[in-house]
């Protein structure tokens, strides 16, 4: 291994590019999640996806990511995202 291939530098000297775009969080979703108590579930009908769509798996991942970001903003760490057979996401505490 040649010294030219790898270089050890101070962490304060590194350069990097931020990943992706900044996430935007729906404030109404954050507010609703913030009111969710333990043992309760929030059904997110407005975020329903078509299970027969060719992009369903991708759509579920995208929506789940939005829900996780909203839960983090609402200060909720203990939750699960479950999907109905008709494609409606639900957040369970």
- In this predicted model, what pLDDT tens digit does every residue of 41-90 receive, in sequence order? 999 999 999 999 999 999 999 999 999 999 999 999 999 999 999 999 99
Q: Using CA atoms, how far apart are residues 27 and 18, in angstroms rounded to an integer?
A: 24
Can you give the pTM of this predicted structure? Answer: 0.75
Buried b / exposed e over 27-62, threshold 16 CB at 10 Å, is: eebbeebeebeeeeebebeebbbeeeeeeeeebbee
Confidence class of residue 11 from pLDDT cuts 50, 70 and 90? confident
DSSP structure class, residue 76: -
Band the pLDDT of 3: cuts 50, 70, 90: low
Residues sharing a CB contact under 8 Å with residue 4, sequence separation 6 or more, in sequence order: none
């Amino acid at each position: 291994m040649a010294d030219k291939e790898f270089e050890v530098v101070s962490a304060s000297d590194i350069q990097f590019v931020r990943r992706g775009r900044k996430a935007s969080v729906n404030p109404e979703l954050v507010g609703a999640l913030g009111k969710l108590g333990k043992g309760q579930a929030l059904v997110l009908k407005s975020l329903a996806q078509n299970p027969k769509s060719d992009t369903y798996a991708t759509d579920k991942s995208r929506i789940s990511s939005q829900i996780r970001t909203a839960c983090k903003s609402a200060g909720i760490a203990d939750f699960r995202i479950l999907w109905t057979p008709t494609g409606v996401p639900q957040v369970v505490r």
